[in-house]
A and B are shown apart, each in its own frame.
Chain A
């Protein structure tokens, strides 16, 4: 074959026969179709809303809400706007999800390890916990905890109390509210400095150990820095905090800090339910580390505790993290069931009351969906980062 014929064939071969071009074209067409679909859905929705005389747009967010909310992390009153209602609901959702994730992780790890215990009773207790709790619908568990909590607590006038400053009744848990006085900022600053210093010492100690093999008591030093230093400063400055005690006034208590029963019930239900799944994940993770690893560690003379800490756990964590992320996402999304027991989270105050008062279903549901999507993506991103950090680095 001569050079000339090759050139001819190249000229003749159509651009349609080039696989790279075809794959590029099909992708461009697909993207165009997706964009067109999206545009069609939006414009069609808008047109239909207009035709049916249904109000649309996001102007309602500046309108006065006018209704009350019984738990808010930021200042909120009836004069606040719907936009503020959105933030209040969002923060309440984040609060219960965040604390729920921490609590569920702790319970889940404990139960997961218990299930592997050689002690028959402990292992069976953990097994029953897992099998019972993960097989009952969450909504029922929420109702159970809520009405169990309510029923077991006395009325405000018959509150249970400790030292006349902590009160428990069916309106919630009341504790004294600390009010800071000038000088308290020093304590806060020292606390933050303590944390930073501990992190720095840990990094330094790890490097030194890698280099020389010498260990450094990071834990004790850290405790001294984070707890000891602020406490010392607090005492030196003459306790710059006063307490606002809750008092029974009329029907209910006023003053102090209050935790509403709806929050307690929601937190308990979410964390105890999710912990059952986490326990199984932890158990699977630990069992995934082959027995040979433990035996090898023993052969090297490592005692059981360091074996667990240095050999088994680091390998188990790699197996645990990806499914654990799923459970965290589930817990966050399940927090929307709180509307059933009057915990004022996003779905209750925004997708419920606000939606009913403004009637702007499309906008409000879109915003609510966007919130859960964002929360989930953020959790996911964090866990992926942590996973990458813990992943096996092959050399």
Chain B
């Protein structure tokens, strides 16, 4: 006991042991705290960004809100921790945050060597380049010798180096700690090129003095599946985050949105009935109420609503769905289903499932 206590004290000082004590039941911790502690970016419009009233908005923030809605039935029970790219994993490993929802690229190295688990992909992105129109460049292959501004502590630095090396081009990297300084330095002319994920380029372009003087080049030089991250070793919590995301995607596929969620309860479609908890009982298996998914959809919305509200064509970012459209609409957003049986086996009218359940 004494040893355990001491380990705890010293470990807490090093920010490590506290986790092993807490990791077993993040859900219990969250419930007793009364809120979800969510790690977000320090300000990336469309993804996680505080508005002029200090409220956090964005597609990554909506995921945090959806998790809170699933657990508490109240999407506002979230506390946000703004994190720089290089702080984010340590903050999660040490237990400072419960879930990291901060445009983070899913890589094997992060998934395996950092003691973390990626719960899914809420935005399929790819790294691109932004240049001044006055440079007269139309392709990234014309960028030999360019000075490139970017962030430290991200996957972009490595992609950049790989791309220029693979194409035998020289370049100069200027890597800043925070995105705001990258934007400013690029705006002041320190660099010819600004590189980050394409979604980020569109978002940061809004911060430039003359956004219309800049263009995003067509090349996408990497795949950047961005998604929420949790600690390894707590499968229940991992499942909750994963299935909150899946439920939002499935709801869009089934045509359930925040507006029609209530009427959908009366739907005869078994897939919708199961998703909303009218039929079957998938809540208790992950430690949640029966109607957790209903709360997510009613209070935050389905995946399409989250996308359109934050980054879609009607927002300042104006990003098309592209890869992030549902698989049924030419994109690659695809979520596993909540239960076996159902569609394909019965001739339920209005069933929208495509696959055959094994």
Q: Verify if B288 is at the interface (C-beta below 8 Å from A).
A: no
Q: Verify if A251 is at the interface (C-beta below 8 Å from B).
A: yes
What's the nearest-Cβ distance from chain A to residue B97, in Å?
Answer: 15
Q: Do B188 and A342 touch across chains, with their CB atoms under 8 A apart?
A: no
Q: Verify if A355 is at the interface (C-beta below 8 Å from B).
A: yes
Q: Which of A250-264 contact B (CB under 8 A)?
A: 250-252, 254, 261-262
Nearest B residue to A347 via CB reads B177
Q: Do B20 and A68 touch across chains, with their CB atoms under 8 A apart?
A: no
Residues of chain A contacted by B85 (CB below 8 angstroms): 356
Residues of chain B contacted by A214 (CB below 8 angstroms): none
Q: Which of A316-364 contact B (CB under 8 A)?
A: 339-342, 344, 348-349, 351-353, 355-359, 361-362
Residues of chain A contacted by B192 (CB below 8 angstroms): 251-252
Chain B residues bordering chain A, tally (CB within 8 A): 57
Q: Do A66 and B162 touch across chains, with their CB atoms under 8 A apart?
A: yes
The one of A49, A249, A252, A353 that contacts B147, using a Cβ cutoff of 8 Å:
A252
Residues of chain B contacted by A53 (CB below 8 angstroms): 112-113, 115, 232-233
Q: Do A348 and B184 touch across chains, with their CB atoms under 8 A apart?
A: no
Q: Verify if B319 is at the interface (C-beta below 8 Å from A).
A: no
Nearest B residue to A43 via CB reads B7
Categorize the interface residue count of chain A. 35 or more
Residues of chain B contacted by A239 (CB below 8 angstroms): none
Q: Verify if B221 is at the interface (C-beta below 8 Å from A).
A: no
Q: Do A250 and B175 touch across chains, with their CB atoms under 8 A apart?
A: no
What's the nearest-Cβ distance from chain B to residue A252, in Å?
Answer: 5
Q: Do A41 and B153 touch across chains, with their CB atoms under 8 A apart?
A: no
The one of B7, B14, B162, B231 that contacts A52, using a Cβ cutoff of 8 Å:
B231
Q: Which of A66-113 contact B (CB under 8 A)?
A: 66-70, 78
Q: Verify if B239 is at the interface (C-beta below 8 Å from A).
A: no
The one of A45, A54, A68, A249 that contacts B113, using a Cβ cutoff of 8 Å:
A54
Q: Do A356 and B86 touch across chains, with their CB atoms under 8 A apart?
A: yes
Q: Do B11 and A353 touch across chains, with their CB atoms under 8 A apart?
A: no
1/0 contact string of B294-326 vs chain A (CB within 8 Å): 000000000000000000000000000000000
Residues of chain B contacted by A197 (CB below 8 angstroms): none
Q: Verify if A166 is at the interface (C-beta below 8 Å from B).
A: no
Knowing A250-B144, A356-B154 touch, does A44 contact B7 (C-beta < 8 A)? yes
The one of A54, A150, A356, A359 that contacts B188, using a Cβ cutoff of 8 Å:
A150
Nearest B residue to A143 via CB reads B181
What's the nearest-Cβ distance from chain A to residue B170, in Å?
Answer: 8
Residues of chain A contacted by B10 (CB below 8 angstroms): 37, 40-41, 44
Nearest A residue to B17 via CB reads A48
Knowing A40-B7, A40-B10, A252-B147 touch, does A48 contact B173 (C-beta < 8 A)? no
Q: Verify if B90 is at the interface (C-beta below 8 Å from A).
A: yes
Knowing A44-B7, A150-B189 touch, does A52 contact B19 (C-beta < 8 A)? yes
What's the nearest-Cβ distance from chain B to residue A124, in Å?
Answer: 34
Q: Do A355 and B171 touch across chains, with their CB atoms under 8 A apart?
A: no
Q: Do B181 and A340 touch across chains, with their CB atoms under 8 A apart?
A: yes
**Could you tell me the distance between the alpha carbons of A143 and B164 in the complex, rounded to whole angstroms?**
29
Q: Do A344 and B175 touch across chains, with their CB atoms under 8 A apart?
A: yes
Q: Verify if B286 is at the interface (C-beta below 8 Å from A).
A: no
Residues of chain B contacted by A171 (CB below 8 angstroms): 147, 172, 190
Q: Which of A211-254 contact B (CB under 8 A)?
A: 249-252, 254
Q: Verify if A184 is at the interface (C-beta below 8 Å from B).
A: no
Residues of chain B contacted by A249 (CB below 8 angstroms): 145
Q: Verify if B81 is at the interface (C-beta below 8 Å from A).
A: no
Interface core residue of B7, B13, B231 (most chain A CB under 10 Å): B7
Q: Verify if B208 is at the interface (C-beta below 8 Å from A).
A: no
Q: Do A355 and B86 touch across chains, with their CB atoms under 8 A apart?
A: yes
Residues of chain A contacted by B6 (CB below 8 angstroms): 40
The one of A78, A146, A359, A361 that contacts B165, using a Cβ cutoff of 8 Å:
A78
Q: Verify if B74 is at the interface (C-beta below 8 Å from A).
A: no
Q: Which of B152-196 contact A (CB under 8 A)?
A: 152-154, 157-158, 160-162, 164-165, 171-178, 181, 184-185, 188-190, 192
Q: Do A52 and B115 touch across chains, with their CB atoms under 8 A apart?
A: yes
**Could you tell me the distance between the alpha carbons of A249 and B170 in the complex, rounded to whole angstroms?**
12
Q: Verify if B265 is at the interface (C-beta below 8 Å from A).
A: no
Residues of chain A contacted by B165 (CB below 8 angstroms): 78
Residues of chain B contacted by A356 (CB below 8 angstroms): 85-86, 89, 152-154
3 nearest interchain CB pairs?
Answer: A52-B115, A356-B153, A250-B145
Q: Which A residues fall within an 8 A CB radius of B? A: 37, 40-41, 44-45, 48-49, 51-55, 66-70, 78, 143, 146-147, 150-151, 155, 170-171, 249-252, 254, 261-262, 339-342, 344, 348-349, 351-353, 355-359, 361-362
Kindly list 6 other residue pairs between chains A and B, CB separation below 8 angstroms, not including A68-B160, A68-B161, A262-B174. Answer: A41-B14, A48-B20, A54-B93, A352-B175, A356-B154, A357-B158
What are 11 A-B pairs with beta-carbon distances under 8 A?
A: A41-B14, A44-B17, A53-B115, A53-B232, A67-B157, A70-B174, A251-B145, A252-B147, A340-B178, A348-B152, A362-B14
